[in-house]
Amino acid sequence: MAQDEPARSRLLDAIHGRGAFRLFRSVVTELGLLDTWYAFRDEAIKEEYRAFLEEHNIPFVEG
């Protein structure tokens, strides 16, 4: 759904200015993408952890 231009435009508008986090969450919820957003966010955070640990020669253990 986020591939369509109106949804994309709304999401881009939502991430700017004051109250951006609240507005972004509101738009994501309205578009029915909240679970997808959280899954994406969680995976991105996990990849950052993994890269940091790898850079410091620390094994990444999931779970």
State the DSSP code for 17: S
- Tokens coding 36: 């997808």
Name the nearest CA neighbour of 25 among 9, 17, 35: 35
Which tens digit of pLDDT belongs to each residue from 4-63? Answer: 888 999 999 999 989 999 999 999 999 999 999 999 999 999 999 999 999 999 999 887
pLDDT attached to residue 34: 95
Burial 38-56 (b: 16+ CB within 10 A, else e): eeeeeeeeeeeeeeeeeee
pLDDT attached to residue 9: 92
DSSP strands (E only) in 1-63: none
